[in-house]
Structure 1
């Protein structure tokens, strides 16, 4: 990814943090001290920018997962817990609770989020299988675990339920991951 695209996407994250989906191309241009024309040379519209931002954020999550996988200090069940709850530090303060607004305004982008949530489970599945083999994780149905995780995240992102509960996304994610992982662990 070229440097200007990366800077624009990082600024989109910042502006989303401040204003939700109400940020404008003017906001991005002002923050970067560039012209809107430069942004429009890179992205044809806000939807394309948001679409690429989804990949940018999910790719960052995958990089975090790769570091977790390589960490020899973590047990298998600790790795499962950290991977399921993986959020890069620079996105932990992002208000994911407002993503439900994408469903109406940018349905293709919202669909892409769901698609990304449902894909790239290879590392997590391999870790759960390893935990079962090691005896640190009960013999659980991996498709059921995957469905529970995806359904819960989709509910978090598709409604204002977390806002109504006055809970931020990272708190909710952490509690859900704890329930899943401790429910899978064997009782030693």
Structure 2
């Protein structure tokens, strides 16, 4: 099949399908499997991405951009209270990827070090809206006065830890469940009140 749409549409289709294939096979899928899944030739994929490493790197930005879009939607949702927005933003995951278990991403560090560095960079940046929201919660009195930098460091370091080793896989905890637990611990603490 010859792709007859814009290159940007093809790029998005490839990246979205890559994420879906990751859901089924982890990082062990081949470019042949990707081409078959998409119903296009490998040559068409290689016209957009020169190799799997480059494609995977771009997939990470694509995924993090989707998270940022989800965060923006949450921040702009006037039906949510500040507290609801904080919980939702801290655990933001695009709806189409909620059932994907990212716990096997620890393999990225060894196999794709440049992509791993990009994950870390994306985890550590883009916090301005979230920090402003938490500060708004402090002003409203729904969040106790805290050092927001510490919250950022806690969440970033925890997610980074999930991607550094196989802690989730060994303990049979899915990434969505782990993220939900982290957000709950940050928002509620560990002491029963």
Q: Which range, TM-score by smaller chain?
A: over 0.9
Kindly state the Cα deviation for residue 75 of structure 1 after the two structures are TM-superposed: 1.3
Pairing of 1:24-39 with structure 2 (within 5 A): 24-39=30-45
Runs of at least 5 residues in structure 2 that lack an aligned partner in the other structure: 1-6
Coordinate RMSD, CA, aligned: 1.2
Q: What is aligned with 1:17?
A: 23
Please say if 1:121 is aligned against 2:127: yes
Q: 1:51 aligns with which of 28, 47, 57?
A: 57
Listed one character per residue, the Cα deviations across residues 95-119 of structure 1 (whole Å, up to 9, x for unaligned) are 2111110111100001101110111
- Contact 2:109-2:163 at 8 Å conserved across structures: no
Kindly state the Cα deviation for residue 61 of structure 1 after the two structures are TM-superposed: 0.6
CA distance in 2, matches of 1:18, 1:178: 28
Listed one character per residue, the Cα deviations across residues 108-132 of structure 1 (whole Å, up to 9, x for unaligned) are 0011011101110011100111111
- Contact 2:106-2:166 at 8 Å conserved across structures: yes
Runs of at least 5 residues in structure 1 that lack an aligned partner in the other structure: none
Q: 1:136 aligns with which of 116, 119, 142?
A: 142
Give TM-score scaled by structure 2 length: 0.92
CA distance in 2, matches of 1:161, 1:171: 13
Give TM-score scaled by structure 1 length: 0.94
Does the residue aligned with 2:129 lie in a helix, a strand or coil?
helix
Listed one character per residue, the Cα deviations across residues 10-66 of structure 1 (whole Å, up to 9, x for unaligned) are 111111111111111101111111111111111000011001100111111111111
Q: What is aligned with 2:115?
A: 109
Q: What is aligned with 1:165?
A: 171
CA distance in 2, matches of 1:119, 1:166: 29
CA distance in 1, matches of 2:106, 2:30: 19
Does the residue aligned with 1:114 lie in a helix, a strand or coil?
helix
Aligned residue pairs, count? 184
CA distance in 2, matches of 1:57, 1:142: 25
Please say if 1:72 is aligned against 2:78: yes
Does the residue aligned with 2:144 lie in a helix, a strand or coil?
coil
